[in-house]
Amino acid sequence: MSEQPMPQDAAQENEQAAAEQAQAAEQPMTVDVILASGSPRRKELLEREGVSFTIRVSEVDESLEPDLEANPPEAVKKLAERKAGAVVQEVLGEGYTGMAAIIGADTMVVCDGEIFGKPASISDAKRMLRRLQGNTHEVLTGVSVWLVSAPNAEDVSLGFRTFVDRAAVTFHPQTDEQLAEYLKCGESFDKAGAYAAQGNGAKLVKHIEGDLDTVIGLPVTRLLKEFPDLK
């Protein structure tokens, strides 16, 4: 039996469908970037670089076991992973499909081996600033990026990579009166180490060796170098 020629309209439709499939294959898959942090500083840093993202904040236990307290670089990595991992669980629990990159971050100030987190009170903030004044301390920011591939809700693959970026910060010597004046501005209480290097706390800083963004809370240049698909 001889084959009948395909109607012209059907042939054109097939050609158009094949062209659309080829074009779709050439298009890079969209990655949904999610910042697992409510920090306005991290939000501003990503926006500055032109990254499109949404914010999902999940409360996680930030307490540290004694072995992690003795190892700040490992501690800041673990907290970044906890924050991102919690949001991954939430997203997948909602039946997410697609490609996503979830970014978790944590920043620590370390002085003479002691981790300075967010101060619990004004006296705690004053204690931290007294220790930091006139000295050099280290700021560690851990960043954990979890990559989610979910063509459908039942077919999910995960991978993650975490890094730690470091900066050394030297403070000017300060009197108690100068520290008290800084504390009055109120920016100490949600900042590791009780100061904001991008705010009024810049007056306390004599020198930074490393990336200012690391001190603020997210080393975006390194982040986008290691994960260029985020942008």
Catalytic residues: 106
Please give the C-alpha separations between residue 224 and each of 12, 181, 202, 227, in angstroms, as whole numbers: 43, 38, 26, 5
Burial of 46 (0-12, 13-18, 19+ CB in 10 A): buried
Helix residue ranges, H only, 4-156: 8-26, 40-48, 66-69, 72-93, 122-132
Segment holding 195, helix H or strand E: none
What secondary structure letter does DSSP report for 77?
A: H
Residues contacting residue 152 through CB under 8 Å, at least 6 positions apart: 97
- Do residues 104 and 143 lie in contact, with contact meaning Cβ atoms separated by under 8 Å? yes
> Do strands 54-55 and 31-35 pair parallel, antiparallel, or not at all (unpaired)?
parallel
The Cβ of residue 93 has, within 10 Å, a number of other Cβ atoms equal to: 8
Tokens, residue 16: 């158009």
Do residues 104 and 123 touch, judged by C-beta distance below 8 A? no
